[in-house]
Amino acid sequence: MTDPGSRVPRPSIPAFRVRLLPLLVGGVLILAVAALLIFWFVVRVEVNANEILVLVNKTGKTLPAELAGEFDDQVVLYPELVSAIAASTGESEEEVRNGYKGIRHQWLGEGRYFYNPYSYKRVKQKTTLIPQNEVGVKIRKFGKPLPFPKTVATEDDERGPVDEILGPGRHNINLLAYDVQRFPAIQIPEGHVGVVTLLSGTDPVEKNTYTVEVGEKGVQRKTLPPGLEYYNPYLERISIVDVRSQKYDMLGKDAIHFPSNDSFTITIEGTIEWAIRPDRVAEVTVAYGDEEDILNKILLPNARSISRIQGSKLQAREFISGKTRTAFQERLLAELKKECWKQGIDIKSALVRDIQPPAEIASLISQREQADQEMERSTNEMEEARAQALLVEQQELQQRNRLIGDKRRDMVAVVKEAEQRKVVAVTRAQRELEVAKLALQAAEKEAAAQLSRGTAEANVVLLEYQARAEPLKQAVEAFGDGQAYAQLFFLEKIAPSIKSILSNTEGPFADIFKQFQTFPSASTDGGAQ
C-alpha cells in the first residue's frame, strides 16, 4: 500500500490558461459568425425578377502580348476572344474566362449567387424593355471594326450595330457588352406600300439596274404591304409610297398650249387620273422620284407631247365641235395610257374639260359652228320626218300583218278544232268498238260456258238414268224377258194393296163378303124345303 504522504503531486494548470480558453472559444465563434455574415451579406448576390447579373473579373491575367495588337482595346471576354486566347496560351476556355481580367460576356439570370466581391465586380442590371410599336437594335461594343462598306455586324466578332432586331417585350441584354437603341416601328397605311433599300448585303449580280434581287445591296424589287413593319434602320431604309389613284388638274398656268393645223394656238384644260403600277413601284420611285417628280418627268411631258401631236392634225374650228372634242379626248387617253404604262404609270382617265380656240376666230368659228348646227338640226328634222313616215308605213304594214295573222290564227284554230273533234270521235268509236269486241268475247265465253254446263248436266242425268236402268236391265235379264219381270213388279206393287183390301173388314169390298156370311130367313128356309 502506498503511503499517502509519498504521492507525487499533479502539475496544476496555470490560472491565465484557464481564463484564456473561453476567450479563444468565443473568438472562434465570433469569427465563424462573422464569416457567415460576410458570406451571406457580402458574398451573396440576389438576382430578382426582371434582372440579370453581369460579372467583371477584377483579378487575373492581362491580354497576352501576341494578341495585344489585335485585341488591345477589348475589355469583354466574348467567345471569339476567349477562343483566340485559349489557342494562343494552350489553356482551356473555362480557364481563360475565369483567369483573365475583363467583362464576362455571358450573363446570369434570376436566382441566388455567391461571388467574392474582391475578385468580381457584380453588376445587376434591369432587363431591357422594348415598348409596343418600337424596335430595338443592339450595338456591339466589342469585336473587330466593321469593314467598308458594311453598316451592320453580321459576324459574331464584328463591332457595331447587329443585323438582328429586338421586338416588343423584355430582353436579357448585357449592357456592359452592348448598347440598345430603340426606334419607332414604321406604319405603312392602306393604299401605300413600302419600298425597301438594303444598306448592307451582297453586291448585285446584275449591274446598272434600278432594283436588285432579294439579299443584294440596293433597292429591293419586292415591296412591303400595308401594316406595322419592324425593321433595323442600320440595315434597311423604308420609303412609303402612295399607290392610290391621284388626280392632276391642268388648269391656268398648267394648261396645255399647242398650235392647230392652221397655225392657231389652242389651249386645253383637263384632268388626268393616274396611279403607280403596283408591280413597278420600286423601279418608278428610284428612277423618277416622288409624286411631283412623276408629274414633271412623266405625266406632263407625255400629255403635252401627245396633245401637240394629236392637236396639230386638226384645224382650230374643229376643236369647238363636241364630236371632235370627244374623238380628241379618246385619242389622247389611248396614247397617254400607252406611253405612261411603259414607264410604270397607269393612266385611269384623261378628261378634257375645256378647249379654248384663239379669241380672234372664236366668234367666227362659233357662228360657223352655229350654222353647222342649224344645218345639222334641219338635216336631223328631215331625217326625223322621214323616219316618222317610215314609222307610219311600218305601223300600217304591221296592222295589216296583224289582221292577216289574226285571220290565219282563226282558220288554224277552226282546223285544229275540227281535227280535235275528229280525233275525239274516232277515239270514241274505237273505244266503243273495243267494248263491243269485249262484250262479244264475253257472250261467246258465256255461251261456251252454258253449253259446257248443259252438256255436263245432260251427262249427269244420263248417268243417273243409266245407273237406274242398269239394275233393271240386270233384273230383266235374270227373269229372261221383260214381261216376266213386269208381272213380278206389278205383283210386288199390287200385293200390298190386295193384302190390305183383303185384310180390311171395312169398306165396300168387305161388304160383298159380308153378304155371304148372312143366313137366309124362314121364308128362305121354307122354300128350301
**DSSP of 98-164, one letter per residue?**
HHB-EEESS-B-SEEEE--TTTEEEEEEEPEEE-TTEEEEEEE-SSBPPPTT--SB-STTB-EEEEE
In the block, which residue shows the cell 445587376?
124
Among the listed residues 114, 109, 115, 112, the one whose alpha carbon sits nearest the alpha carbon of residue 56: 115
Roughly what angle, to the nearest 10 degrees, separates helices 300-311 and 322-342? 140
Determine the Cα–Cα distance for residues 114 and 41; give it in Å rounded to an integer. Answer: 10
Contacts of 335 (CB under 8 A, 6+ apart): 306, 309, 310
Contact indicator for 220, 211 with CB cutoff of 8 Å? yes
Is the peptide bond preceding residue 149 cis, with omega within 30 degrees of 0? Answer: yes
C-alpha cell at 89: 496560351
C-alpha cell at 29: 465563434
Cα–Cα distances in Å, from 418 out to 411, 414, 426, 434? 11, 6, 12, 24
Strands 160-166 and 111-114: unpaired
Determine the Cα–Cα distance for residues 175 and 515; give it in Å rounded to an integer. Answer: 185
Exposed / middle / buried, residue 3 (Cβ in 10 Å: 0-12, 13-18, 19+): exposed
Contacts of 271 (CB under 8 A, 6+ apart): 247, 248, 249, 250, 349, 350, 351, 353
C-alpha cell at 367: 357662228
pLDDT attached to residue 9: 53
Determine the Cα–Cα distance for residues 399 and 187; give it in Å rounded to an integer. Answer: 74
Rama region for 19: left / alpha / beta (φ>0; ψ in -120 to 50; rest): alpha
Among the listed residues 78, 122, 128, the one whose alpha carbon sits nearest the alpha carbon of residue 104: 78
pLDDT attached to residue 515: 65
pLDDT attached to residue 183: 95
C-alpha cell at 6: 509519498
Contact indicator for 220, 198 with CB cutoff of 8 Å? yes
Helices (H), 199-347: 281-287, 291-294, 300-311, 322-342
Strand spans (E) along 145-264:
160-166, 169-171, 178-184, 186-188, 192-198, 218-219, 227-229, 236-242, 246-250, 256-259
Please report, in tens digits, the pLDDT of each residue of the chain (529 residues total). 445 444 545 555 555 555 677 778 778 888 888 878 887 888 899 999 999 999 999 888 887 766 655 555 567 888 888 888 888 888 898 988 888 888 999 999 999 999 988 889 999 999 999 999 999 999 998 888 888 888 898 888 888 999 999 999 999 999 999 999 999 999 999 999 999 999 888 888 888 888 998 888 899 999 999 999 999 999 999 999 999 999 988 888 888 888 877 777 888 888 899 999 999 999 999 999 888 999 999 998 998 888 888 878 877 767 766 677 778 788 888 999 999 999 999 999 888 877 777 666 666 666 666 777 788 888 888 888 888 888 888 888 888 888 888 888 888 888 888 888 888 888 888 888 888 888 888 888 888 888 888 888 888 888 887 787 777 777 777 777 777 777 777 777 777 777 776 666 666 666 666 666 654 544 444 443 3
Among the listed residues 226, 236, 52, 53, the one whose alpha carbon sits nearest the alpha carbon of residue 135: 236
C-alpha cell at 507: 169398306
| DSSP tag of 353 | E
Query: HSE-up of 134 (CA within 13 Å, CB side)?
Result: 13
Whether the model clears a pTM of 0.75, i.e. scores above it, the answer is no
pLDDT attached to residue 528: 38
Q: What is the identity of the amino acid at 95?
A: E
In the block, which residue shows the cell 453598316?
151
Determine the Cα–Cα distance for residues 208 and 216; give it in Å rounded to an integer. Answer: 13
Exposed / middle / buried, residue 142 (Cβ in 10 Å: 0-12, 13-18, 19+): buried
Dihedral pair phi/psi, residue 422, rounded to 5°: -60, -45
Contact indicator for 335, 310 with CB cutoff of 8 Å? yes
Determine the Cα–Cα distance for residues 356 and 311; give it in Å rounded to an integer. Answer: 12
| DSSP tag of 344 | T
R_g of the chain, CA atoms, integer Å: 71
Q: Nearest 5 degrees, angle CA 103-CA 105-CA 111? A: 95
